[in-house]
Amino acid sequence: MKSKSRSKWSTISCILLVGALLSTCWGQSSSVHASATAYKFDFGAGGVTSGYTGVQASTAYNASTGYGFNTPANIKNVSASGTGIGSDAVQFVTFGTKSNNTFNVDLPNGLYEVKVTLGNTSRSSVAAEGVYQLINMTGDLATDQFQIPITDGQLNLLVTEGKVGAAFTLSALEITQVSTNPTTHPTIYVGGDSTVANYYPLANSVQGGWGQMLSKFINPNDYLVRNMASGGQIARGFRDDGQLEAILKYIKPGDYFIVQLGINDTNAKNNTTEAQFKEIMRDMVKQVKAKGATVILSTPQGRATDFNSSGVHNAEGRWYRAATVALAKEEQVPLIDLNVLSSSYFTSIGANATLALYMNGDTLHPNYAGATELARIVVDNMKAQGLY
């Protein structure tokens, strides 16, 4: 997958000497690299937005420029519905987290902030260094960012499947060095299903997951939040299909992994008994604990309609909650019993106000406001337990 040459360091040295030499070093008549640690790429066959380096599907990786596609034959130029950087894109024709169909950028080793803007796509994920980085970005021109350590002199990034049959496109990429030390900041990794996942645009989506809103209540100087949850996910899928793999690649002592599953596991079509669910979750707990990080198990909130005739909300019999509660005790890991905590909150505000926190005509999935309240409850309980 890596296409490297030691000659890239001459490129970087040249960039470091003086910004005026950038066009010579990178072979761009109007290079936009402000320094050796800031890079901006505009993808597609249309015009190049000021301040960006243009990259077309045919742009092959070249050690003298330090960037390009590893297999340009598997990339094509496509249009997009936005303006500026969002007016065009490239589409990844082949995909998969292990694909060598990557966009490669030579970088000095360190920690980087990577911002991606997709083109037109219904749902796509972003992978780099062979693992997922962003899960199920939904909607045209979705934007998100992540931090990644680079330890081998090159970033290898691609857009891949979030939904089979979707077009996996990339309109723009911005890369900024955060530190010369390739060590991730303290991080809270989150795993779960559609009640936890991100929805786009992140700042004002209609639907929300509490993992999406968690950063509203976490000081970024204390922890970054990396939400790896995805709609429809079950414990077996989270463990086996790449999401846990991405977390295990980066998680370290001092980090947290909060995982909430069980809703979809209870669906008969997924063929997962409560005993099987518990043991799969146990396996994930053990793998993360072996990395020296702290696992926090969470139980899912109930449905908006789980009120009894006395106006009390109770959902304790749902979503394999008993298995999660028992597992936390057996493995001696913290438990956020969001099922019970949210029920207490829902009871306090009443049935009508609770229903207003869910999507219209949907008693399971929270809207933006509902997800925000759930995230607040999660963080409040972390504080109550001395975890934050």
Q: What would the DSSP string read from start to end of 55-66?
A: E-TT-B-BTTTT
Q: Among the options 87, 194, 230, 342, which is catalytic?
A: 194
Catalytic residue among 193, 298, 343, 365: 365
What is the chain's length? Answer: 388
Q: What is the DSSP string of 116-139?
A: EE--S-SEEEEEETTEEEEEEEES
The answer to whether 194 is a known catalytic residue is yes
- Reading the block at residue 233, the tokens are 């996910």
Give the span between the Cα atoms of 4 and 63, in whole angstroms: 7
Paired tokens of 273: 């008994």
* CA-closest candidate to residue 373, choices 356, 351, 388: 356
Type of residue found at 137:
M
289: left (phi over 0), alpha (psi -120 to 50) or beta: alpha
Helix (H) or strand (E) holding 384: helix 368-384
Which one from 152, 222, 240, 362 is the annotated catalytic residue? 362
Treating both helix axes as pointing N-terminal to C-terminal, what angle do 274-289 and 243-250 enclose, rounded to 10 degrees? 20
Strand order in the sheet with 110-117: 53-55, 38-43, 172-179, 110-117, 143-150
Distances (CA, A) of 74 to 90, 158, 281: 10, 12, 38
Cα distances (angstroms) measured from residue 38 to each of 12, 16, 179:
11, 11, 12
Residue 267 burial (C-beta neighbours within 10 Å; 0-12, 13-18, 19+)? exposed
Residue 103 token pair: 């966009």
Do β-strands 187-191 and 256-259 pair in parallel, antiparallel, or remain unpaired? parallel
Question: Catalytic residue numbers?
Answer: 194, 362, 365
